[in-house]
Amino acid sequence: MRPRLGNASLASVRGATLPGYDRAATRVGIVHIGPGAFFRAHQAFYVDALLHRDPRWAISAIALKSAGVRDALAPQDGLYVLNELGSEARFRVIGSIREVLVATENHAAVFERLTAPATQFVTMTVTEKGYCLNGNGALDESHPDIVHDWQAPQAARSLVGALTQALRLRRAAGTAPFVVICCDNLASNGPTLRRAVLDFSERLDRDLSRWIEDEVSFPRTMIDSITPATDDALRARVAEVTGVDDAWPIQREVFTQWVIEDLPAVHAADWASVGVTLAKDVSVYDRAKLRLLNGAHSTLAYVGLLRGHTTVLDAMNDATLAGCVERLMREDIAASLAPSPGLDVQGYIDDVLGRFRNPGIRHLLSQIAWDGSKKLPVRLLGTISDALQAQRSVERLALPIAAWMRFVVRQSKHGVDIVDPEAKRLAELGRACNEDPAHDTGLFLGLDTVFAKEIAVNPVFRRAIETVYRKLQTPLAPL
């Protein structure tokens, strides 16, 4: 019978890199709210590397409601195995999490950790819905958790309520504020969270709100790494390699990126020493990821599915498609990115293409194709708008848009469900198409929730879309 991973069995672990520092000598300096898979594959990985240099930065992980991670990791003393997926799989035991707390079970312990002077950073990955925002990206004052937290801040249910109460207690005790590092994919994530906290605190205490506005740093961030879900196959693979059982191992691609806005308070820890990029303008990296990585992903998905492929790797093994996507990135999308110190666009493209060819990741095109009506405007239509204004060619940029249209038509005609917030409308539109390029693309361009009017009516773009749509009547035609 294999032993369970933990401090007692750590020395018997084989086939994995172990923490090279004395865990007992580390001190909690970071509180992380929302200890899900991405956090444990990403931020906890960076902090694990940081602890080899500085013992002040161990993590107290806080779940606001769910006890699942605590129940899995507490018997393992917070240890778990990270499997990095590449041409050769690598295994590493992560030791940066010292404790996992559940707020609903012990608010006092949570606020004790959040208000401890040693806690200098509070990071979070709670997904977009965890911020209790409305459709305009502002605090949803009618959200049940927000209403509750105004009435009972000492038993906060929401992230915003918990942060505000912790800062309120630190101010009252004369303790310096922590730095709030949002690691979720919100637009302008740091400033967006800052505004929500200020709006919430204004109702509680106007002086507190002003103190937060003046004293608390909310840097912008950008995070990136593909993290497939944990499954029984991963658990079995980890057990076979390491010789110990891990209730909740994590896997991700080898590539990982973390960019933090270079504010003075961030320098309390030497993030740059472990590969974190400190940047004056994080939006440059956001845009590069959105346009180059995500835009190319959508292109591979829609064109690849039409050409009979299943995964990103399959699509990249199609030399015609792979060459087209590379030209799209290097010649068309890159032209929409302004030069910026610290960002090597062509080098970033090299990295992205390498990630697409990673044999250790099975990334389904069908999943990438979900929610196209919401993804395409931010991933590709902004690039197209810039190209039109600069009078650059949009012929290649029209390819993924026309391929999406073809994908919707195909799914609709075959009665296959479309995973999209606009699924019903798209299915009706797809069934109404008749293979006439002008007619069909005209129907799609009438979707004002997808296409801005200035793009939809632009004659250059319309001609390009019609041309590519016609070409895609033969899915394996030259691209």
User: Each residue of 173-232: pLDDT tens digit?
Assistant: 999 999 999 999 888 999 999 999 999 999 999 999 999 999 999 999 999 999 999 999
Instruction: Choose among 170, 190, 169, 197: nearest CA to 124.
Output: 190
Q: Which residues contact 147 (CB under 8 A, 6 or more apart)?
A: 141
Q: Which residues contact 44 (CB under 8 A, 6 or more apart)?
A: 32, 59, 94, 96, 97
CB atoms within 10 A of CB 19: 17
List of E strands, 393-461: none
> Do 409 and 440 contact (CB within 8 A), yes or no?
yes
Taken as a whole, the chain contains a residue count of: 479
For residue 58, the cross-strand partners are 28
Sign of CA dihedral 435, 437, 439, 442: positive
* Alpha-carbon torsion, ordered 123, 234, 95, 117, to 10 deg: 20
Instruction: Choose among 183, 168, 264, 262: nearest CA to 224.
Output: 183
- Tell me the mean pLDDT in the region 283-312: 96
Q: Which amino acid is at 434?
A: N
Cα 291 to Cα 137, 283, 332: the distances in Å are 22, 12, 10
Instruction: Choose among 295, 284, 32: nearest CA to 179.
Output: 32
What totals of helices (H) and strands (E) does the chain contain, helices first? 22, 11
- Tell me the mean pLDDT in the region 155-172: 98
Under the banding of pLDDT at 50, 70 and 90, the label for residue 121 is very high
Q: Which amino acid is at 91?
A: F
Query: Residue 122's pLDDT is what?
Result: 98
Least confident of 31-35, 47-51, 132-136, 398-402: 132-136
Cα(36)–Cα(281) distance, integer angstroms: 27
List of E strands, 179-219: 179-182
Query: Residue 308's pLDDT is what?
Result: 96
Q: Which amino acid is at 244?
A: V
Cα(114)–Cα(108) distance, integer angstroms: 10
Structural tokens at position 20 = 């090279």
Q: Which amino acid is at 338?
A: A
Alpha carbon 303 to chain centroid distance? 24
359 pLDDT higher than 80: yes
Cα(329)–Cα(314) distance, integer angstroms: 19
- Tell me the mean pLDDT in the region 463-467: 98
Supply the mean pLDDT for the chain.
Answer: 96
- Tell me the mean pLDDT in the region 130-155: 94
Query: Residue 455's pLDDT is what?
Result: 96
> Do 399 and 324 contact (CB within 8 A), yes or no?
yes
Q: What pTM was computed for the model?
A: 0.89
